[in-house]
Amino acid sequence: MAALTEKVAIITGGSNGIGKATALRLTRDGAKVVIQYRSRRCCVLDSEELIRRTVEKFGQIDIVIANAGSLPLHDLANTSEQDFNDSIDLNVKGPYFLVQVRHADCRQPTCRRYKKKFFAADG
């Protein structure tokens, strides 16, 4: 029996690279995996929708991996304010709002609570 059977995971940026490899590994270990990818912007509404739809479909969320990220492909002199803002939205606000919304969701009586929590960010 797989170690993650009956667990539900959310992975942002799960369509390629590290996110895809993580999704495949969690699936192989028995988890149900919800992947969010290529959203134009990261905002609190995207996170609320992701959490809500996952709970509606599976009834729980056990693992959240905020993996989405990108950087503008310009040097410093050619990075526009919009490029910079887009990078902050995805790399900082996206994970923050996802964790914030999940934390609020865990105040509900149906939320599974675990003693161990881990948050990692790259960049």
The structural domains of the chain, ordered by start, are 8-107 (3.40.50.720)
Measured between its terminal Cα atoms, the distance across the chain in Å is: 36
Q: Phi/psi at 29 (nearest 5 deg)?
A: -85, 5
Q: How far is CA 88 from CA 39, 64, 75, 117, in A?
A: 14, 20, 16, 24
Query: What's the predicted TM-score (pTM) here?
Result: 0.78
Q: Would the pLDDT of 1 be above 80?
A: no
Which amino acid is residue 74, in one-letter code?
H
In this predicted model, what pLDDT tens digit does every residue of 68-120 receive, in sequence order? 888 777 888 999 999 889 888 888 888 888 888 887 777 776 666 554 555 55
In this predicted model, what pLDDT tens digit does every residue of 2-61 receive, in sequence order? 789 989 999 988 888 899 999 999 999 999 999 987 655 556 568 888 888 999 999 988
